[in-house]
Each structure stands twice: as structure tokens, then as C-alpha cells.
Structure 1
Amino acid sequence: METYLVFVDAVNNSNKFWSAKVEDNSLIVEWGRVGYNSQKKVHSLLSHQQAVFKFHNLVAEKNLRATEKVSHKWMANAVFQISDERYNY
């Protein structure tokens, strides 16, 4: 079980990734800027089920934070209007 998330914001020069992978009783989380050395943390758990549970929790938390961050940026920086089935701002 594995997921890989990428966040790109060209205006603010942000290009980072976050990945999580379950291997046996371990959850391996890796993050950093794309193209540079990454950081890694290995969570050693008592069972495969615990590793899967922690995986799902971390992925949900990351997705929630990303959604809040993006929604906030969109709200703060742009107002969209539909015109001829295109978005203008």
C-alpha cells in the first residue's frame, strides 16, 4: 500500500512531495522538495493492521490540510466568474 502526493505552487516557488508506504509492520513516510534530498521517517508498529491504520490516518490528515490550504489560497487570491463556459479571474 502506497501513496504519493505532490504540491506545486509556481507563484510561491513551492514544489514538494509527500509519500507513505506500508511494508509489513512498518509505515515509511518520505517528504521534501522535488529534485532534492528527502527526509524519511520509519514508524515501526506491532502489526500490519496498525501500520495500515496509521497510513490511512496520515493520508487523510495530509489531504485535509492540503484541501484547507488550497481553498484558502483560492479564496484569498482569485474570484472566478463563468463566462462562455470558461473561468475568468
Structure 2
Amino acid sequence: MTGTSVPPQPEDIALRITDIWRDLFGDPQMQIEPQDNFFLLGAPSLLALSLAERLRAEFGVPVSVLSVAEKPTVAQLTEHVLAHSAAGPLDEGEI
């Protein structure tokens, strides 16, 4: 074993983000598509704070409420996570 890790796959990230959304909305059966908008599904801005915190904890990448507002879909947040995962570990100053 070489100690290298496998980079996260977009499908796995999108599924995990979808699961987080379902948890935050309190509906484990909620149908969420990659282009669904977090806010148009009924999320208040305070829930965006919880989403940002959960994404930081889950993926170890910088995610702010502004990031969620600018990238409010599963697809856009997946791209955000992938881009920041490639950049290296989370630096507390980036939050």
C-alpha cells in the first residue's frame, strides 16, 4: 500500500450532499435533483449556515454561507467540493 488516497468521486459527493439536504429538510424520502436550488426548495437562509457547517465537516473544504448562496444546487456544490478537495486540506483561515 502506497499511502495515496483515492480522490473523491463526483457521484459520491453529490449523493452525500443530497443526503445532507434531506437531513436538513427533515425528509429522508425527499426527491432532490442535481439542479434543484436549495433555497427554491424552501430552505431559509439560516439553514444555509447549517449546510455550510455540515459540508465543511463532511468534506474538509472551505464552505461559507456565501458559497451556498452563490452555488445553491447539488451540482454546483459538488463542483465546489471537488475544486477545493484538489487544492489540499482545509486551512482554518479559509473559512
Give the TM-score normalised by the residue count of structure 2: 0.25
Greater radius of gyration (CA):
1
Give the TM-score normalised by the residue count of structure 1: 0.26
User: Counting helix residues as a fraction of each chain, which structure ranks higher?
Assistant: 2
Higher RCO, Cα 8 Å, sep 6+: 2
User: Counting strand residues as a fraction of each chain, which structure ranks higher?
Assistant: 1
